[in-house]
Structure 1
Amino acid sequence: MTRVQPEPPEERPPHGASIVGGIDRDSPGPGPFVMAADTLEGNKVVDPAGDDIGTIDHIMIDVLGGRVAYAVLAMGGFLGIGEKLFALPWSALTLDTRRKCFVLGVERDRLKAAPGFDKDHWPSMADSQWATSIHQYYGISPYWEADRYDPWDERRR
């Protein structure tokens, strides 16, 4: 198990992931503020102690709201067999650009007890009760409340 020294986030934005590490605002190209989703998939996720807990398997987009809703964490298993998946609210993560990983502010034991799913049995992410419960579990305000945007408001469709 690889151990990475944790680093506290500089400041939690109203919604979205935090960024820590060497941020060069003048560097050419994308990142770390705007990045291709597929460059984040496969990134390591560590707990507050710096221990590996899994990798980012998918980035889930709220199409109507135009923002990242969740990162799907893959934990355990071997070559995709027997792994458990977890929908993590995007704002629960901190991107560490120096160490090239995400930090999740949840201990491994709490994550193991979190509501999860497997690759063949995904939850209905469009269910507002499910979405609210996931955010509550991780102690994060739902992303749609940050600017009063509600993805389940029928008037917006």
Structure 2
Amino acid sequence: MKSSRAIVTVSVLSAILGATAYAATDVQEKREEMREEQRDVREKQKEMRKEANEQMQDVSRATKIIGTDVKNMKGEDLGDIKDLVLNPMRGNVVYVVVSYGGLLGMGDKLFAIPWSALRWSADQDYYVLNMDKEALKNAPGFDEDHWPVSTTQWDEQRKQLNQFYRVKP
């Protein structure tokens, strides 16, 4: 009788240990499946962002551009796009107006940056300006109350801005 009990006990313990080992293997397999699914989702998201970025380069609504961050090549914040300056005769964007500095929107300096000086970031949701933060602080700019208001004023600034940002007119 004792040997039967021992055999039953050993059998039960073996079954429990076997089930535990099977469950542990099953859990490991499930974890690996989940990791693989997560990698697939991240890859799909990356592809979708890349596609959206490419579409943003071709055609974009002004409301999608205004408010977008601008960063330098190091990923440092250079401000955000406050407005677009258009050439109505040609029908294209000439400048983006970037706001930088100040505190809580007060005292910001505005910069008219040639549209061609900006590049849409490859994997992110911002524009890239190849410029150091300190250089931007010294860039020609204006305040909210003193926008260039005439074609003549914009033309006067155009040479200076194109030279500063190293772009061809």
Aligned partner (choices 71, 78, 85) of residue 53 of structure 1 = 78
How far apart are the structure 2 equivalents of 1:125 and 1:137? 21
**Per-residue deviation, residues 46-68 of structure 1 (Å, max 9, x unmatched):** 01211111000001111111100
Aligned partner (choices 99, 120, 137) of residue 74 of structure 1 = 99
2:162 partner letter? H
SS of 1:23's equivalent in the other structure is helix
Tell me the equivalent position of 1:117: 142
2:127 partner letter? F
Contact 1:89 1:134 in 2 (8 A): yes
Tell me the equivalent position of 1:13: none
Aligned partner (choices 141, 151, 155) of residue 126 of structure 1 = 151
**Per-residue deviation, residues 20-77 of structure 1 (Å, max 9, x unmatched):** x71369x9xx644111011111111001211111000001111111100000000012
Provide TM-score, normalisation by structure 1.
0.69
* CA 97–48 in structure 1, closer or farther in 2 if over 3 Å, else same: closer
Task: Give 1:123 deviation, angstroms.
Answer: 2.5
Provide structure 1 residue ranges, at least 5 long, that are not aligned to the other structure.
Answer: 1-20, 143-157
Percent of aligned pairs sharing the same letter: 35
How far apart are the structure 1 equivalents of 2:132 and 2:94? 21
How far apart are the structure 1 equivalents of 2:134 and 2:57? 30
Task: Give 1:97 deviation, angstroms.
Answer: 5.4
Provide TM-score, normalisation by structure 2.
0.64
Aligned partner (choices 74, 95, 104) of residue 129 of structure 2 = 104
Write 1 or 2 for the structure with the bigger share of helix.
Answer: 2
Tell me the equivalent position of 2:50: 22
Write 1 or 2 for the structure with the bigger share of strand.
Answer: 1
2:164 partner letter? Y
2:102 partner letter? G
Count of matched residue pairs? 119
How far apart are the structure 1 equivalents of 2:92 and 2:121? 20
How far apart are the structure 2 equivalents of 1:79 and 1:103? 22
Runs of 4+ with >4 A deviation: none
Task: Give 1:96 deviation, angstroms.
Answer: 1.8
* CA 136–124 in structure 1, closer or farther in 2 if over 3 Å, else same: farther
**Per-residue deviation, residues 65-98 of structure 1 (Å, max 9, x unmatched):** 1100000000012332100000000000001253
